[in-house]
Structure 1
Amino acid sequence: MRSAAVFLALLLCLQWTWAQGESGEVTGTDAETEGGNRQEEVQFEIQGVGAAHDQSSSQTNISPDIWAELKELRDMAIEQKVELRNSKSKIEKLEQENAATQARLTASESKNAVLEAKMSFYEGVVKELQRENMVLETRMSSSENEVAELKRENAATQARLTASESKNAVLETRMSSSENEVAELKRENADRPKVAFSAGLTDAGPVGPFNTEITLKFSKVFTNIGQAYSPTTGIFTAPVRGVYYFRFTVWGGRPSAWMGAYLYHNEKRMTLSYDYNDEQAYVSASNALILQLEKGDVVYMTLYPGSGVFDDSFNRTIFSGFLLFAL
């Protein structure tokens, strides 16, 4: 009975030791100290049990298996202690890792707070840029519309310019043609002789009457370009082949008398202009011809027989002619 009580007490001590190891309420140093004390107590109890066994071995026969079990329990207690120490080391290491992780988490949270602040700032910047982008897009759209309008206006202007250039080209062509014609006319005019004359008969008053025809010598020369008219003979000689214009006027101042004159081309009588002057009156006659003359042909005027003409400083009787164009 006594051996059984000792065995029961040893089991209770071991159970309490395991409970203390599993609770984790003691520190590493305390656990070592307490574990050492407990080991001494267990050894002391085992020794006591052994002493009690020695004292009672002679009285009571205990089974040898009990001692083997006690030894096995002691070995288990030692293994539990080693495992407990390893667990303590792992726990301390985990606590250190947890502290480092906590520090990293705190740093990460701080960094996240900074990043969130930056993100909030950048979101504001992005919103502002978006607003500015919308304004720029609006301005860009307006500018594109203006550019399109300018392009349309430019196209219209270009079309008008092209039409104007085409018209200018036509005008330049016509101008060039006109200039060529003018130059040709100038050359022709330069090559064509310039012939024109105009002369009055006399300042002496009446001329005639005579019984036969006489050549009228218009001695008062007003114009004689080309010197084709001779005031000495009263004859116009054509310097070139061409078409000529001739005009004359005769005036009479004798009452009750005839007034008249002929125009000749070479020996051919071309026209007669005359009139009768009654008492106390003045008469005049005019005529004109366009004649084609060969070079050297002559044109002149003669007094109608039995008639007279009159001229004075008022140039009442004149003879004129000029070249229209050469042939």
Structure 2
Amino acid sequence: MRRAAVCLALLLCLLWTGAQGEDGGGTGKKEGEFDIQGAHDQSSSQTQMRTDIWAELKKLRDMAIEHRIKIQRLEQDNTATQVRLTASESKNAVLETKMSSSEKEVEEVKRENAAFESRMSSSEKEVEEVKRENAAFESRMSSSEKEVEELQRENADRPQVAFSAGLTNAGAVGPFTTATTLKFSKVFTNIGQAYNPTTGIFTAPVRGVYYFRFNAWETRLTWTSIELFHNDKRIMVISDLHDGTGHVSASSAMVLQLEKGDVVYIVMPSSFGVYDDVFNRIIFSGFLLFPQ
């Protein structure tokens, strides 16, 4: 539009310049003279020039109109573009807001994941610690089970020896004129059959350490006494004197190391007596502590 206006202005200037030149032209006529032929030619030239100028002006007008229409279309397009751009900017603002919100959510999720991973790491460490403790416990359990199995095997292989027997139900025993081996005939326990109630003698089936316990009991007004023998050797003597009403009693125990085949028994010396009845007042007991 601006270019068309500029061109129109230039053409007007040219037209005015041409008209000035024709008015003061060089016809050579003196003032007051009149050239009919020249006037006719000049009029024809000016008419032709005006026609050409108007034609050019029309073209310029048409060009200006066309340019104005194009400019209007461009302005419309520009307005539509501005609208779309504004809408895009609004959408971008919304997207940026959403992006910012999403980034915050992502950061929050990252923090939660970090906290979760920390807890998971701590839990895994605790699980590893529990596994180590369980492994140690299982190891101890396995060791204990092996020890128990070993003890069971040892116990299974170890000879089992234990006995306990009462003297008699007859009441008074003795006194005798000679020392007498007491035969404890009431057998309560005789594991391993190492005690013989017929002879009153215990025979060690294996080499080892044994425990023995025995006692004496008397109701008569007399001395009571018994002796513990290992093979032919007297090991211990217990005795007491009954000098009043009621009864007297004495007891003792001994741990002996015996060889296989050694014997242990109870002897009542001469002139002494004991008393036993259904209440089992006198007991001779023994058992193997451990073999050697």
Q: Under a length normalisation based on structure 1, what TM-score does the superposition of the two structures give?
A: 0.71
Q: Distance in 2 between matches of 1:233 and 1:312?
A: 20
Change (3 A) 1:17 1:183: same
**Matching of residue 277 in structure 1 with residue 280 in structure 2:** no
CA contact (8 A) 1:259 1:304 kept: no
Q: Distance in 1 between matches of 2:84 and 2:269?
A: 131
User: What CA deviation, in whole Å up to 9, does each residue of 1:265-299 have, x standing for no partner?
Assistant: 11111111111111213111111111111111111
Q: Distance in 2 between matches of 1:218 and 1:124?
A: 117
**Matching of residue 10 in structure 1 with residue 2 in structure 2:** no
Q: Distance in 2 between matches of 1:98 and 1:227?
A: 143
> Which AA in structure 1 matches 2:189?
T
Change (3 A) 1:105 1:224: farther
The SS at the match of 1:155 is helix
Structure-2 residue corresponding to 1:259: 224
| 1:220 Cα offset (Å) | 1.3
Q: Return 5+ residue gaps in structure 1 as ranges.
A: 27-86
Please identify, of 228-237 and 143-152, the stretch whose mean Cα deviation from structure 2 is larger: 143-152
| Match for residue 160 of structure 1 among 122, 126, 136 | 126
| 1:221 Cα offset (Å) | 1.4
Q: Distance in 1 between matches of 2:188 and 2:210?
A: 18
Structure-2 residue corresponding to 1:188: 154
Q: Return 5+ residue gaps in structure 2 as ranges.
A: 1-28
Structure-2 residue corresponding to 1:21: 51
Change (3 A) 1:15 1:178: same
In our comparison, the structure showing a higher alpha carbon Rg is 1
Q: Distance in 2 between matches of 1:13 and 1:226?
A: 170
**Matching of residue 313 in structure 1 with residue 267 in structure 2:** no
The equivalences for 1:72-111 within 5 A come to: 91=59, 95=62, 99=66, 105-111=71-77
Structure-2 residue corresponding to 1:64: none
User: What CA deviation, in whole Å up to 9, does each residue of 1:229-262 have, x standing for no partner?
Assistant: 111211111111111111112211112x111111
The equivalences for 1:290-309 within 5 A come to: 290-309=255-274
Q: Which has a greater percent of helix? A: 1
Q: Distance in 1 between matches of 2:37 and 2:252?
A: 186
Q: Distance in 1 between matches of 2:105 and 2:37?
A: 100
Structure-2 residue corresponding to 1:50: none
**Matching of residue 323 in structure 1 with residue 285 in structure 2:** no
Aligned length: 262
Q: Distance in 1 between matches of 2:34 and 2:90?
A: 84
The SS at the match of 2:83 is helix
Change (3 A) 1:226 1:102: farther
Structure-1 residue corresponding to 2:5: none
The equivalences for 1:126-275 within 5 A come to: 126-255=92-221, 257-275=222-240
The SS at the match of 2:286 is strand
Q: Distance in 2 between matches of 1:235 and 1:97?
A: 153
Q: Distance in 1 between matches of 2:48 and 2:285?
A: 166
Higher RCO (CA-CA < 8 Å; seq separation 6+): 2
Q: Distance in 1 between matches of 2:140 and 2:86?
A: 78
% identical equivalent positions: 45
Change (3 A) 1:153 1:13: same
Q: Under a length normalisation based on structure 2, what TM-score does the superposition of the two structures give?
A: 0.79
| 1:194 Cα offset (Å) | 1.1
Q: Distance in 2 between matches of 1:115 and 1:214?
A: 139
Q: Distance in 2 between matches of 1:296 and 1:108?
A: 134
> Which AA in structure 1 matches 2:155?
N
